[in-house]
């Protein structure tokens, strides 16, 4: 009788252990998010981003709940360069806003990186613009999740925008952004849509294929079809909107100082350039008078004071008399 009870108790314990292992840890949203992204056959719920960016990394989102085209092939063996960015049907205001948002992403995410490191970050942003898992605009990609403080790029939510950009660094980031938006491609990172620094190891990198290491960043793309060029066929149609400051945020891109150099946005030849208003100074500086420049202590142009006329001539021997005129010194 006792043996039967012990066998029954053992069976009950075994069933309980199996149930716990299958259910996983309750309330662990991050584990659920990672499994949704990494499972090859899973179709996660589309729409919201899954994991926010931590310091030095981008965030990841659920794969789109779209059917994979029949016969579509995905390969993880090679790095394929992205196609050049094309403006498509877009207004001048869209180009200007896209330029501002991409410049901010390059500056704050890779301001201390080399030119190649900054180009790689710009390529990730533009790769996301084409991918159906992300917004279809540059500003939408850069500021995704800002309304819920669940940002895809860490600089948007970690307070970095409260720092006034350095003029030189911002100008360099603007040049790189303009080149990328004009069709420049940084081929080494391929179709990467994610990156992180050496200092962090985000959970999503186990579901990715690393394409390159540039500076302090490691770049990744999705496995299978969603990491191929065929999955990034969405064209750019504009609709750029720079987010306004919600109640949960203090600083956004619109708060950047007006004194920063305005990036030159590449536009088609048929589109006239947009004039930039310049604010005239309220009180122009007064030109200095001649007396403030020339005085008795400073000779006029072309004049040589008497005490300096012999400057540069060879020194005479101690026993020879020092010349007093402007003639040649004795040899």
Q: What DSSP assignment string belongs to 69-120?
A: PTT----SS---PPPPP---S--HHHHHHHHHHHHHHHHHHHTTS-HHHHHH
Q: Is residue 170 part of a domain?
A: yes
* pLDDT value at residue 285: 38
Q: Is residue 319 part of a domain?
A: no
Query: Which CA distances in Å does 251 have to 28, 51, 229, 245, 308?
Result: 31, 22, 35, 7, 61
Q: Average the pLDDT over 247-258 and give the result.
A: 42
Asked if residue 263 has pLDDT above 70, the reply is: no
Domain count, the chain: 1
Q: Is residue 275 part of a domain?
A: no
Q: Is residue 39 part of a domain?
A: no
Supply the mean pLDDT for the chain: 72
Query: Which CA distances in Å does 162 have to 58, 141, 159, 254?
Result: 19, 20, 6, 11
Q: Is residue 144 part of a domain?
A: yes
* pLDDT value at residue 307: 56
Asked if residue 46 has pLDDT above 70, the reply is: no
Nearest Cα neighbor of 163 from 58, 227, 250 is: 250
Asked if residue 248 has pLDDT above 60, the reply is: no
Q: pLDDT tens digits for 172-187?
A: 999 999 999 999 999 9
Q: Average the pLDDT over 115-139 and give the result.
A: 96
Q: Average the pLDDT over 272-299 and give the result.
A: 39
Q: What is the domain range of residue 197?
A: 48-61+79-255
Q: What DSSP assignment string belongs to 169-213?
A: HHHHHHHHHHHHHTT---GGGTT--EEEETT---GGGGGEEEEEE
**Which CATH number goes with the domain that contains 116?**
1.10.10.2520
Q: Is residue 174 part of a domain?
A: yes
Range in 97-106, 138-147, 149-158, 306-315 with the lowest mean pLDDT: 306-315
| Residue 177 near residue 111 (C-beta atoms within 8 A) | no
| Residue 124 near residue 33 (C-beta atoms within 8 A) | no
Question: Sheet of 217-222: strands edge to edge?
Answer: 194-197, 217-222, 208-214
Q: Is residue 70 part of a domain?
A: no
* pLDDT value at residue 123: 97
| Of residues 218 and 66, more confidently modeled | 218
The predicted model scores a pTM of 0.60
Asked if residue 138 has pLDDT above 70, the reply is: yes
Query: Which CA distances in Å does 27 have to 31, 32, 34, 202?
Result: 9, 9, 14, 19
Confidence band of 203 (pLDDT split at 50, 70, 90): confident
Q: Is residue 127 part of a domain?
A: yes
Nearest Cα neighbor of 208 from 195, 199, 198, 197 is: 195
């Amino acid at each position: 009788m006792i043996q039967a009870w012990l066998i029954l108790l053992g069976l009950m314990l075994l069933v309980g252990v199996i149930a716990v292992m299958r259910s996983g840890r309750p309330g662990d949203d991050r584990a659920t998010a990672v499994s949704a992204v990494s499972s090859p056959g899973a179709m996660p719920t589309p729409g919201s981003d899954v994991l926010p960016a931590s310091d030095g990394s981008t965030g990841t989102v659920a794969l789109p709940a779209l059917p994979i085209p029949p016969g579509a092939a995905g390969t993880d063996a090679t790095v394929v360069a992205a196609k050049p960015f094309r403006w498509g049907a877009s207004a001048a205001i869209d180009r200007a806003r896209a330029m501002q948002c991409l410049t901010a992403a390059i500056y704050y995410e890779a301001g201390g990186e080399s030119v190649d490191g900054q180009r790689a970050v710009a390529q990730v942003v533009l790769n996301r613009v084409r991918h159906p898992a992300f917004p279809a605009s540059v500003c939408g990609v850069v500021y995704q999740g800002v309304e819920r403080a669940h940002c895809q790029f860490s600089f948007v939510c970690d307070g970095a925008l409260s720092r006034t950009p350095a003029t030189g660094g911002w100008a360099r980031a603007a040049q790189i952004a303009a080149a990328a938006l004009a069709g420049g491609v940084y081929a080494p990172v391929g179709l990467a849509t994610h990156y992180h620094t050496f200092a962090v190891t985000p959970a999503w990198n186990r579901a990715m294929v690393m394409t390159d290491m540039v500076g302090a960043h490691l770049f990744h793309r999705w496995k299978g079809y969603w990491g191929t060029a065929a999955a990034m066929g969405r064209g750019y149609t504009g609709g750029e909107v720079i987010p306004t400051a919600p109640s949960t945020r203090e600083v956004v891109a619109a708060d950047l100082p007006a004194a920063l150099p305005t990036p030159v946005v590449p536009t088609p030849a048929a589109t006239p350039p947009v004039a930039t208003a310049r604010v005239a100074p309220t009180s122009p500086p007064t030109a200095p008078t001649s007396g403030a420049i020339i005085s008795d202590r400073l000779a006029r142009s072309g004049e040589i004071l008497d005490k300096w006329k012999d400057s540069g001539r060879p020194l005479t021997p101690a026993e020879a008399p020092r010349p007093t005129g402007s003639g040649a010194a004795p040899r």
